[in-house]
Amino acid sequence: MTTRLSALSDWVAEIAKHTQPDNIYWCQGTDREYRDLVRQMLESDDLIELNQEHYPRCYLHRSNPTDVARVEHLTYVCSKSKQDAGPNNNWMAPKAAKQMMQNFFKGCMRGRTLYVIPYCMGPLDSPYARCGVEITDSAYVAANMYLMTRMGTDALKRIEKDGSFIKGVHSIGELDPERRYIMHFPDELLIMSYGSGYGGNALLGKKCHALRIASHQARTEGWLAEHMLIVGLENPDGETHYLACAFPSACGKTNLAMLIPPESLAGWKIWTLGDDIAWMHLDEQGQLRAINPEAGLFGVVPGTNLNTNPNAYKMIQAETIFTNVAVTKENDPWWEDKNVGEPAVDWQGNLYDPKTGAAAHPNSRFTVSAKHNPSYSKLAEAPEGVPISALIFGGRRRELAPLIYQAKDWAHGVLVGASVASETTAAATGEVGVVRRDPMAMKPFCGYNFADYWAHWLSFSDRSGSLPSIFHVNWFRQDTQGNFLWPGFGENLRVLRWIIERCEKRVGAVESPIGYLPKLEDIDCTGLDLNKDTIEQLLTVNPEQWRVEMRHIREYLDEFGERVPKQLLAEHDKIVQALS
Under a CB-based contact definition with an 8 Å cutoff, are residues 395 and 477 in contact? no
Name residue 124's amino acid. Answer: L
What residues act catalytically? 251
Interaction between residue 276 and Mn ion (CB under 5 A): yes
Give CA–CA dist 207/441, Å, rounded. 13
Nearer to Mn ion, 173 or 299 (CB): 299
Q: Are strands 386-394 and 469-473 parallel, antiparallel or unpaired?
A: parallel
CB under 5 to 8 A by kind: which of ligand OXD, Mn ion, none does 21 bind? none
- Give the ranges where 23-177 is alpha helix by DSSP (H): 31-43, 82-85, 94-105, 139-148, 153-162
Name the packing angle between helices 566-579 and 543-558 (round to 10°): 160
CB contact set of 301 (below 8 Å; sequence gap of 6+): 316, 322, 325, 333, 335, 360, 364, 365, 366
| Nearest residue relative to ligand OXD (C-beta) | 249
CB under 5 to 8 A by kind: which of ligand OXD, Mn ion, none does 167 bind? none
Interaction between residue 46 and Mn ion (CB under 5 A): no
Under a CB-based contact definition with an 8 Å cutoff, are residues 116 and 12 in contact? yes
- Whole-angstrom distance between the N-terminal and C-terminal Cα of the chain? 68
Q: What is the closest distance, in whole angstroms, from the C-beta atom of residue 475 to ligand OXD in the complex?
A: 17
Give CA–CA dist 484/476, Å, rounded. 6
Q: What is the closest distance, in whole angstroms, from the C-beta atom of residue 70 to ligand OXD in the complex?
A: 6
Nearer to ligand OXD, 150 or 365 (CB): 365
Report the interface residues with ligand OXD, using CB under 6 A: 70, 200, 249, 276
Instruction: Estimate to the nearest angstrom the gap between the alpha carbon of 570 and the chain centroid.
Output: 30
CB under 5 to 8 A by kind: which of ligand OXD, Mn ion, none does 452 bind? none
Q: What is the closest distance, in whole angstroms, from the C-beta atom of residue 276 to Mn ion in the complex?
A: 4
Give CA angle at 249 (243, 250), nearest 5°.
100
CB contact set of 529 (below 8 Å; sequence gap of 6+): 487
Give CA angle at 251 (318, 340), nearest 5°.
40
CB under 5 to 8 A by kind: which of ligand OXD, Mn ion, none does 200 bind? ligand OXD
Under a CB-based contact definition with an 8 Å cutoff, are residues 133 and 190 in contact? no
x/- contact string, 290-329, with Mn ion (CB under 5 A)?
A: ----------------------------------------
Give CA–CA dist 580/256, Å, rounded. 36
Q: What is the closest distance, in whole angstroms, from the C-beta atom of residue 210 to Mn ion in the complex?
A: 10
Nearer to Mn ion, 276 or 571 (CB): 276
Interaction between residue 226 and Mn ion (CB under 5 A): no
Looking at residue 351, the DSSP 8-state letter turns out to be B
CB under 5 to 8 A by kind: which of ligand OXD, Mn ion, none does 549 bind? none
Nearer to Mn ion, 276 or 346 (CB): 276
Nearer to ligand OXD, 276 or 452 (CB): 276
Q: What is the closest distance, in whole angstroms, from the C-beta atom of residue 200 to ligand OXD in the complex?
A: 5
Count of residues interacting with Mn ion (CB under 5 A): 1
Which range in 89-97, 208-216, 269-277, 430-438 contacts Mn ion by CB under 5 A?
A: 269-277
Nearer to ligand OXD, 100 or 427 (CB): 427
Q: What is the closest distance, in whole angstroms, from the C-beta atom of residue 325 to ligand OXD in the complex?
A: 16
Residues that bind Mn ion (CB under 5 A): 276
